[in-house]
Amino acid sequence: MKGRYDGPPPSGQATSKQSVLVVDDDPNNLKLVSASLTLEGYEVVCASSGEEGLEILAGRSIDLLLLDVRMPGLDGIEVCRRVREQPRFSRMPIIFLTADQADTERTLLGLDAGGDEYLHKPISRRMLSARVRNLLRLANAERERQLLTQVAQAEKLAAVGQVAAGVAHEVNNPLSFILSNLESLRGYVNDLSRVVQAYRVSPEAGAALDRTLGIDALMADVKPLLDETVQGGSRVRAIVQELKTFARQDPDTFEPVDLAEVARCTLVLTERELSSKATLVKDLRLARVELAPRQKLHQVMLNLLVNAMHAVEARPLTGQRHTITVSTRTEGDVAVLEVSDTGCGIPESARSRIFEPFFTTKPVGVGTGLGLSVCAMVVDRLGGRIDVESEVGRGTTFTIRVPCDADERSPSTPLPRLQVAGAR
Protein backbone atom coordinates (compact mmCIF):
# COMPACT_ATOMS: atom_id res chain seq x y z
CA MET A 1 0.00 0.00 0.00
CA LYS A 2 1.50 3.30 -1.03
CA GLY A 3 0.80 6.81 0.11
CA ARG A 4 2.20 10.22 -0.34
CA TYR A 5 2.17 13.54 1.45
CA ASP A 6 1.09 16.15 -1.08
CA GLY A 7 1.20 19.27 1.05
CA PRO A 8 -1.41 20.85 3.29
CA PRO A 9 -5.03 21.22 2.14
CA PRO A 10 -5.61 24.52 0.27
CA SER A 11 -5.87 27.36 2.75
CA GLY A 12 -8.94 29.53 2.75
CA GLN A 13 -11.26 26.60 2.22
CA ALA A 14 -13.03 26.92 5.50
CA THR A 15 -13.46 23.58 7.21
CA SER A 16 -15.61 25.21 9.88
CA LYS A 17 -17.40 28.49 9.17
CA GLN A 18 -15.23 31.60 9.24
CA SER A 19 -16.75 34.69 10.79
CA VAL A 20 -16.98 38.19 9.33
CA LEU A 21 -18.01 41.27 11.30
CA VAL A 22 -19.66 44.00 9.20
CA VAL A 23 -19.81 47.47 10.78
CA ASP A 24 -21.94 50.01 8.89
CA ASP A 25 -24.50 52.61 10.02
CA ASP A 26 -26.48 52.17 6.78
CA PRO A 27 -28.99 49.33 7.34
CA ASN A 28 -29.37 48.70 3.58
CA ASN A 29 -25.65 48.23 3.16
CA LEU A 30 -25.52 45.95 6.20
CA LYS A 31 -28.31 43.84 4.74
CA LEU A 32 -26.70 43.62 1.31
CA VAL A 33 -23.18 42.73 2.52
CA SER A 34 -24.50 40.36 5.12
CA ALA A 35 -26.71 38.51 2.60
CA SER A 36 -23.86 38.08 0.07
CA LEU A 37 -21.39 36.77 2.63
CA THR A 38 -23.94 34.44 4.22
CA LEU A 39 -24.55 32.97 0.77
CA GLU A 40 -20.79 32.39 0.45
CA GLY A 41 -20.89 30.27 3.59
CA TYR A 42 -19.49 32.74 6.14
CA GLU A 43 -20.93 33.39 9.56
CA VAL A 44 -21.84 37.09 9.46
CA VAL A 45 -22.17 39.33 12.52
CA CYS A 46 -23.52 42.89 12.06
CA ALA A 47 -22.96 46.12 14.00
CA SER A 48 -24.54 49.48 13.18
CA SER A 49 -21.86 51.65 14.83
CA GLY A 50 -18.15 51.67 15.58
CA GLU A 51 -18.84 51.40 19.31
CA GLU A 52 -21.03 48.33 18.83
CA GLY A 53 -18.39 46.79 16.56
CA LEU A 54 -15.69 47.15 19.24
CA GLU A 55 -18.01 45.61 21.81
CA ILE A 56 -18.60 42.56 19.63
CA LEU A 57 -14.87 42.17 18.98
CA ALA A 58 -14.19 42.24 22.71
CA GLY A 59 -16.56 39.35 23.30
CA ARG A 60 -15.90 36.82 20.54
CA SER A 61 -13.47 35.75 17.87
CA ILE A 62 -13.83 37.24 14.40
CA ASP A 63 -11.80 36.25 11.33
CA LEU A 64 -12.29 39.37 9.16
CA LEU A 65 -13.62 42.88 9.70
CA LEU A 66 -15.53 44.98 7.14
CA LEU A 67 -15.68 48.61 8.24
CA ASP A 68 -17.64 51.50 6.85
CA VAL A 69 -15.38 54.59 6.85
CA ARG A 70 -17.92 57.35 7.51
CA MET A 71 -20.08 56.70 10.55
CA PRO A 72 -21.45 59.00 13.26
CA GLY A 73 -19.57 58.64 16.56
CA LEU A 74 -16.44 56.50 16.09
CA ASP A 75 -15.65 56.45 12.39
CA GLY A 76 -14.17 53.42 10.63
CA ILE A 77 -10.59 54.70 10.69
CA GLU A 78 -10.67 55.27 14.46
CA VAL A 79 -12.23 51.83 15.02
CA CYS A 80 -9.48 50.29 12.88
CA ARG A 81 -6.78 52.07 14.89
CA ARG A 82 -8.24 50.85 18.19
CA VAL A 83 -8.58 47.31 16.90
CA ARG A 84 -4.99 47.16 15.66
CA GLU A 85 -3.71 48.35 19.05
CA GLN A 86 -4.78 45.00 20.46
CA PRO A 87 -2.17 42.31 19.75
CA ARG A 88 -4.77 39.58 19.24
CA PHE A 89 -6.13 41.48 16.23
CA SER A 90 -2.76 42.37 14.74
CA ARG A 91 -3.23 39.91 11.85
CA MET A 92 -7.01 40.03 11.39
CA PRO A 93 -7.79 41.26 7.83
CA ILE A 94 -9.65 44.60 7.76
CA ILE A 95 -11.45 45.93 4.67
CA PHE A 96 -12.83 49.49 4.54
CA LEU A 97 -16.12 50.20 2.78
CA THR A 98 -16.22 53.69 1.32
CA ALA A 99 -18.13 55.86 -1.07
CA ASP A 100 -15.26 58.39 -1.42
CA GLN A 101 -13.29 56.92 -4.31
CA ALA A 102 -11.27 60.07 -4.94
CA ASP A 103 -10.30 60.97 -1.36
CA THR A 104 -6.65 59.91 -1.43
CA GLU A 105 -5.84 61.55 1.92
CA ARG A 106 -8.59 59.63 3.67
CA THR A 107 -7.60 56.41 1.93
CA LEU A 108 -4.04 56.81 3.19
CA LEU A 109 -5.29 57.55 6.70
CA GLY A 110 -7.17 54.23 6.65
CA LEU A 111 -4.17 52.28 5.40
CA ASP A 112 -1.94 53.95 8.03
CA ALA A 113 -4.45 52.96 10.71
CA GLY A 114 -3.88 49.31 9.72
CA GLY A 115 -6.56 48.65 7.11
CA ASP A 116 -5.67 46.11 4.41
CA GLU A 117 -7.95 47.02 1.52
CA TYR A 118 -10.71 49.36 0.31
CA LEU A 119 -13.97 48.34 -1.30
CA HIS A 120 -15.92 51.07 -3.02
CA LYS A 121 -19.65 51.56 -2.80
CA PRO A 122 -21.88 50.56 -4.51
CA ILE A 123 -20.43 47.23 -3.56
CA SER A 124 -20.16 44.54 -6.21
CA ARG A 125 -20.95 41.11 -4.81
CA ARG A 126 -18.22 39.42 -6.83
CA MET A 127 -15.60 41.95 -5.77
CA LEU A 128 -16.64 41.62 -2.12
CA SER A 129 -16.47 37.85 -2.29
CA ALA A 130 -13.04 37.81 -4.00
CA ARG A 131 -11.47 40.31 -1.58
CA VAL A 132 -12.80 38.54 1.52
CA ARG A 133 -11.74 35.12 0.23
CA ASN A 134 -8.21 36.24 -0.69
CA LEU A 135 -7.51 38.04 2.56
CA LEU A 136 -8.80 35.10 4.58
CA ARG A 137 -6.66 32.71 2.56
CA LEU A 138 -3.53 34.74 3.36
CA ALA A 139 -4.46 35.03 7.03
CA ASN A 140 -5.14 31.29 7.27
CA ALA A 141 -1.85 30.41 5.61
CA GLU A 142 -0.01 32.64 8.08
CA ARG A 143 -1.89 31.12 11.03
CA GLU A 144 -1.08 27.63 9.81
CA ARG A 145 2.59 28.52 9.47
CA GLN A 146 2.69 29.94 13.00
CA LEU A 147 0.89 26.94 14.44
CA LEU A 148 3.26 24.50 12.79
CA THR A 149 6.27 26.43 14.03
CA GLN A 150 4.92 26.26 17.58
CA VAL A 151 4.09 22.63 17.07
CA ALA A 152 7.61 21.95 15.80
CA GLN A 153 9.09 23.35 18.99
CA ALA A 154 6.71 21.41 21.22
CA GLU A 155 7.32 18.28 19.19
CA LYS A 156 11.07 18.66 19.48
CA LEU A 157 10.81 18.63 23.23
CA ALA A 158 8.37 15.73 23.16
CA ALA A 159 10.73 13.74 20.94
CA VAL A 160 13.65 14.40 23.27
CA GLY A 161 11.44 13.23 26.13
CA GLN A 162 10.70 10.04 24.26
CA VAL A 163 14.36 9.16 23.92
CA ALA A 164 15.28 10.37 27.39
CA ALA A 165 15.40 6.85 28.77
CA GLY A 166 17.65 5.79 25.93
CA VAL A 167 19.85 8.83 26.43
CA ALA A 168 20.27 8.09 30.13
CA HIS A 169 21.38 4.62 29.17
CA GLU A 170 23.76 5.98 26.52
CA VAL A 171 25.42 8.24 29.06
CA ASN A 172 25.41 5.71 31.90
CA ASN A 173 27.28 3.07 30.02
CA PRO A 174 30.46 5.06 29.22
CA LEU A 175 30.23 6.77 32.60
CA SER A 176 30.28 3.48 34.47
CA PHE A 177 33.41 2.26 32.70
CA ILE A 178 35.05 5.68 33.08
CA LEU A 179 34.46 5.43 36.84
CA SER A 180 35.65 1.85 37.08
CA ASN A 181 38.79 2.66 35.04
CA LEU A 182 39.52 5.64 37.28
CA GLU A 183 39.20 3.37 40.31
CA SER A 184 41.79 0.97 38.82
CA LEU A 185 44.06 3.89 37.91
CA ARG A 186 43.81 5.21 41.46
CA GLY A 187 45.09 1.83 42.74
CA TYR A 188 47.93 1.86 40.17
CA VAL A 189 49.02 5.39 41.13
CA ASN A 190 49.04 4.29 44.77
CA ASP A 191 51.28 1.28 43.98
CA LEU A 192 53.58 3.43 41.85
CA SER A 193 54.02 6.04 44.59
CA ARG A 194 54.86 3.25 47.08
CA VAL A 195 57.58 1.97 44.70
CA VAL A 196 58.96 5.50 44.21
CA GLN A 197 59.10 5.97 48.00
CA ALA A 198 60.91 2.62 48.34
CA TYR A 199 63.46 3.59 45.64
CA ARG A 200 64.13 6.78 47.58
CA VAL A 201 65.00 4.69 50.65
CA SER A 202 67.27 2.35 48.67
CA PRO A 203 67.48 1.00 45.11
CA GLU A 204 67.29 -2.58 46.46
CA ALA A 205 64.12 -1.91 48.47
CA GLY A 206 62.59 -0.19 45.41
CA ALA A 207 63.44 -3.09 43.07
CA ALA A 208 62.04 -5.60 45.57
CA LEU A 209 58.69 -3.80 45.89
CA ASP A 210 58.64 -3.21 42.11
CA ARG A 211 58.76 -6.99 41.58
CA THR A 212 56.28 -7.74 44.35
CA LEU A 213 53.66 -5.34 43.00
CA GLY A 214 54.23 -6.37 39.36
CA ILE A 215 54.81 -2.81 38.15
CA ASP A 216 55.60 -3.93 34.54
CA ALA A 217 52.20 -5.57 34.14
CA LEU A 218 50.56 -2.60 35.82
CA MET A 219 52.26 -0.15 33.42
CA ALA A 220 51.17 -2.23 30.43
CA ASP A 221 47.58 -1.89 31.62
CA VAL A 222 47.70 1.88 32.14
CA LYS A 223 47.66 2.96 28.47
CA PRO A 224 44.61 0.96 27.36
CA LEU A 225 42.79 2.06 30.52
CA LEU A 226 43.54 5.71 29.79
CA ASP A 227 42.60 5.33 26.11
CA GLU A 228 39.29 3.71 27.01
CA THR A 229 38.56 6.41 29.57
CA VAL A 230 39.23 9.21 27.10
CA GLN A 231 37.05 7.45 24.52
CA GLY A 232 34.23 7.15 27.04
CA GLY A 233 34.52 10.85 27.89
CA SER A 234 34.39 11.74 24.19
CA ARG A 235 31.28 9.63 23.76
CA VAL A 236 29.53 11.39 26.64
CA ARG A 237 30.56 14.70 25.13
CA ALA A 238 29.11 13.67 21.73
CA ILE A 239 25.83 12.67 23.36
CA VAL A 240 25.57 15.95 25.26
CA GLN A 241 26.40 17.82 22.05
CA GLU A 242 23.58 16.05 20.23
CA LEU A 243 21.15 16.80 23.04
CA LYS A 244 22.13 20.45 22.84
CA THR A 245 21.42 20.42 19.11
CA PHE A 246 17.93 19.13 19.78
CA ALA A 247 17.18 21.53 22.57
CA ARG A 248 18.43 24.66 20.81
CA GLN A 249 15.76 27.24 20.14
CA ASP A 250 17.66 29.47 17.75
CA PRO A 251 16.02 30.39 14.48
CA ASP A 252 16.86 27.91 11.74
CA THR A 253 20.10 28.40 9.93
CA PHE A 254 20.27 27.03 6.43
CA GLU A 255 23.55 25.32 5.63
CA PRO A 256 24.90 22.47 3.50
CA VAL A 257 23.78 19.23 5.12
CA ASP A 258 24.58 15.58 4.40
CA LEU A 259 21.57 13.43 5.31
CA ALA A 260 23.97 10.56 6.12
CA GLU A 261 25.57 12.79 8.75
CA VAL A 262 22.15 13.74 10.12
CA ALA A 263 21.30 10.06 10.42
CA ARG A 264 24.60 9.26 12.14
CA CYS A 265 24.22 12.07 14.67
CA THR A 266 20.62 11.17 15.51
CA LEU A 267 21.64 7.56 15.96
CA VAL A 268 24.19 8.65 18.59
CA LEU A 269 21.19 9.29 20.85
CA THR A 270 18.97 6.44 19.78
CA GLU A 271 21.09 3.54 18.62
CA ARG A 272 21.22 1.71 21.91
CA GLU A 273 17.48 1.98 22.48
CA LEU A 274 16.71 0.91 18.90
CA SER A 275 19.16 -1.96 19.02
CA SER A 276 17.48 -3.29 22.15
CA LYS A 277 14.23 -3.61 20.19
CA ALA A 278 15.40 -4.56 16.70
CA THR A 279 18.41 -5.27 14.54
CA LEU A 280 19.49 -1.89 13.28
CA VAL A 281 20.75 -1.87 9.69
CA LYS A 282 22.55 1.25 8.49
CA ASP A 283 23.33 1.96 4.86
CA LEU A 284 24.49 5.55 4.95
CA ARG A 285 25.80 6.96 1.70
CA LEU A 286 26.43 10.57 0.78
CA ALA A 287 23.16 12.52 0.39
CA ARG A 288 24.08 16.16 0.41
CA VAL A 289 21.48 18.92 0.42
CA GLU A 290 22.66 22.38 -0.58
CA LEU A 291 20.86 24.47 2.04
CA ALA A 292 18.78 22.95 4.80
CA PRO A 293 18.00 23.50 8.50
CA ARG A 294 20.19 20.81 10.06
CA GLN A 295 18.39 20.77 13.40
CA LYS A 296 15.01 20.30 11.78
CA LEU A 297 16.35 17.37 9.80
CA HIS A 298 17.63 15.81 13.04
CA GLN A 299 14.12 16.12 14.31
CA VAL A 300 12.64 14.53 11.19
CA MET A 301 15.04 11.62 11.54
CA LEU A 302 14.26 11.26 15.24
CA ASN A 303 10.51 11.26 14.60
CA LEU A 304 10.81 8.53 11.97
CA LEU A 305 13.04 6.44 14.25
CA VAL A 306 10.73 6.79 17.25
CA ASN A 307 7.78 5.79 15.04
CA ALA A 308 9.68 2.76 13.75
CA MET A 309 10.54 1.79 17.32
CA HIS A 310 6.90 2.04 18.40
CA ALA A 311 5.81 0.06 15.34
CA VAL A 312 8.10 -2.89 16.12
CA GLU A 313 7.03 -2.82 19.75
CA ALA A 314 3.41 -3.02 18.61
CA ARG A 315 4.03 -6.34 16.78
CA PRO A 316 5.97 -8.68 19.06
CA LEU A 317 7.71 -11.56 17.29
CA THR A 318 8.53 -14.95 18.76
CA GLY A 319 11.98 -16.40 18.11
CA GLN A 320 12.91 -13.67 15.64
CA ARG A 321 14.19 -10.13 15.78
CA HIS A 322 12.60 -7.16 14.06
CA THR A 323 14.68 -5.03 11.70
CA ILE A 324 14.85 -1.24 11.46
CA THR A 325 16.77 -0.01 8.41
CA VAL A 326 18.10 3.52 8.03
CA SER A 327 19.52 4.43 4.65
CA THR A 328 20.60 7.54 2.79
CA ARG A 329 21.74 7.96 -0.81
CA THR A 330 21.82 10.30 -3.79
CA GLU A 331 19.51 9.31 -6.63
CA GLY A 332 19.94 11.48 -9.70
CA ASP A 333 19.16 14.98 -8.47
CA VAL A 334 17.57 14.04 -5.17
CA ALA A 335 18.96 13.24 -1.75
CA VAL A 336 17.07 10.33 -0.21
CA LEU A 337 16.54 9.36 3.41
CA GLU A 338 14.66 6.16 4.16
CA VAL A 339 13.53 4.55 7.39
CA SER A 340 11.98 1.07 7.22
CA ASP A 341 10.65 -1.17 9.90
CA THR A 342 9.16 -4.63 10.10
CA GLY A 343 6.60 -3.40 12.61
CA CYS A 344 2.81 -3.35 12.74
CA GLY A 345 2.20 -1.43 9.48
CA ILE A 346 -0.41 1.28 8.86
CA PRO A 347 -4.00 0.29 8.04
CA GLU A 348 -5.53 1.76 4.90
CA SER A 349 -8.07 3.70 7.00
CA ALA A 350 -5.32 5.61 8.82
CA ARG A 351 -2.94 6.12 5.91
CA SER A 352 -4.51 9.29 4.53
CA ARG A 353 -4.51 10.90 7.97
CA ILE A 354 -1.05 10.18 9.36
CA PHE A 355 0.38 13.54 8.24
CA GLU A 356 -2.41 15.51 9.93
CA PRO A 357 -1.34 17.35 13.08
CA PHE A 358 -2.58 15.54 16.21
CA PHE A 359 -3.58 12.35 14.37
CA THR A 360 -2.33 9.50 16.50
CA THR A 361 -3.26 5.88 17.13
CA LYS A 362 -1.07 5.76 20.22
CA PRO A 363 -2.26 5.95 23.82
CA VAL A 364 -2.20 9.27 25.65
CA GLY A 365 1.31 9.92 26.89
CA VAL A 366 2.93 7.86 24.11
CA GLY A 367 2.05 9.88 21.03
CA THR A 368 0.88 13.41 20.42
CA GLY A 369 0.33 12.92 16.70
CA LEU A 370 2.72 15.69 15.74
CA GLY A 371 5.77 13.76 14.52
CA LEU A 372 4.83 13.21 10.90
CA SER A 373 3.17 16.60 10.46
CA VAL A 374 6.43 18.22 11.52
CA CYS A 375 8.35 15.94 9.11
CA ALA A 376 5.95 16.92 6.32
CA MET A 377 6.34 20.62 7.08
CA VAL A 378 10.15 20.46 7.07
CA VAL A 379 10.33 18.41 3.87
CA ASP A 380 7.74 20.62 2.19
CA ARG A 381 9.82 23.70 2.90
CA LEU A 382 12.81 22.06 1.24
CA GLY A 383 10.75 21.44 -1.88
CA GLY A 384 10.79 17.70 -1.21
CA ARG A 385 8.24 14.98 -0.56
CA ILE A 386 7.57 12.06 1.75
CA ASP A 387 6.32 8.71 0.46
CA VAL A 388 5.05 5.97 2.67
CA GLU A 389 4.70 2.33 1.79
CA SER A 390 3.11 0.07 4.33
CA GLU A 391 1.49 -3.28 4.81
CA VAL A 392 -0.29 -4.28 7.99
CA GLY A 393 1.62 -7.05 9.74
CA ARG A 394 4.71 -6.64 7.53
CA GLY A 395 6.07 -3.15 8.09
CA THR A 396 6.45 0.39 6.82
CA THR A 397 8.94 2.43 4.82
CA PHE A 398 9.05 6.22 4.90
CA THR A 399 11.07 7.74 2.05
CA ILE A 400 12.03 11.40 2.05
CA ARG A 401 13.30 12.94 -1.17
CA VAL A 402 14.70 16.47 -1.30
CA PRO A 403 16.58 18.25 -4.10
CA CYS A 404 20.29 17.52 -3.59
CA ASP A 405 23.37 19.70 -3.69
CA ALA A 406 24.03 20.61 -7.35
CA ASP A 407 27.64 19.37 -7.04
CA GLU A 408 26.50 15.92 -5.99
CA ARG A 409 24.09 15.29 -8.84
CA SER A 410 25.30 12.12 -10.47
CA PRO A 411 23.63 8.89 -11.49
CA SER A 412 26.19 6.70 -9.75
CA THR A 413 27.49 7.05 -6.21
CA PRO A 414 29.86 4.49 -4.66
CA LEU A 415 28.09 1.71 -2.80
CA PRO A 416 29.70 1.03 0.57
CA ARG A 417 28.95 -2.20 2.40
CA LEU A 418 25.83 -2.51 4.57
CA GLN A 419 26.54 -1.85 8.23
CA VAL A 420 24.62 -3.97 10.66
CA ALA A 421 24.38 -2.87 14.25
CA GLY A 422 22.62 -4.39 17.19
CA ALA A 423 22.47 -7.90 15.66
CA ARG A 424 22.22 -10.51 18.37
Ligand X SMILES: Nc1ncnc2c1ncn2[C@@H]1O[C@H](COP(=O)(O)OP(=O)(O)OP(=O)(O)O)[C@@H](O)[C@H]1O
Rounded Cα gap, residues 42 and 131, in angstroms: 13
Measured in whole angstroms, the distance separating CA 159 from the mean position of its chain's CA atoms is 9
> Of 199-207, 213-221, 301-309, 413-421, which part binds Mg ion (CB under 5 A)?
301-309
For residues 62 and 301, which CB has a smaller minimum distance to ligand X in the complex?
A: 301
Furthest-apart CA pair in the chain: how many Å? 118
Q: At closest approach, how far in Å is the CB of 274 from ligand X? A: 13
Candidates 284, 396, 401, 422; binder of ligand X (CB under 6 A) is 396
Q: At closest approach, how far in Å is the CB of 105 from Mg ion? A: 56
Confirm or reject binding of residue 341 to ligand X (CB under 6 A): yes
Residues of span 295-314 touching ligand X by CB under 6 A: 303, 307-308, 311
Rounded Cα gap, residues 137 and 256, in angstroms: 33
Instruction: Decide the pairing of beta strands 254-258 and 288-293.
Output: antiparallel
| Count of chain residues binding ligand X (CB under 6 A) | 25
Q: At closest approach, how far in Å is the CB of 360 from ligand X? A: 3
Candidates 138, 192, 350, 421; binder of ligand X (CB under 6 A) is 350
Per partner kind, with CB cut-offs from 5 to 8 A, the member of ligand X, Mg ion, none near residue 259 is none
Per partner kind, with CB cut-offs from 5 to 8 A, the member of Mg ion, ligand X, none near residue 377 is none
Rounded Cα gap, residues 121 and 98, in angstroms: 6
Contact present, 247 and 158 (Cβ < 8 Å): no
Q: At closest approach, how far in Å is the CB of 306 from Mg ion? A: 5
Residues of span 335-394 touching Mg ion by CB under 5 A: 371
Contact present, 59 and 88 (Cβ < 8 Å): no
| Count of chain residues binding Mg ion (CB under 5 A) | 2
DSSP 339-387: EEE-SS---HHHHTTTTSTT---SPTTT--S-HHHHHHHHHHHTT-EEE
Rounded Cα gap, residues 346 and 353, in angstroms: 10
Q: State which residue has the least CB distance to ligand X.
A: 371
E strand spans, 10-91? 19-23, 43-47, 64-68
> Of 196-204, 223-231, 263-271, 361-369, which part binds ligand X (CB under 6 A)?
361-369
| Residues engaged in binding ligand X (CB under 6 A) | 155, 158, 303, 307-308, 311, 341, 343-346, 350, 354, 359-362, 367-373, 396
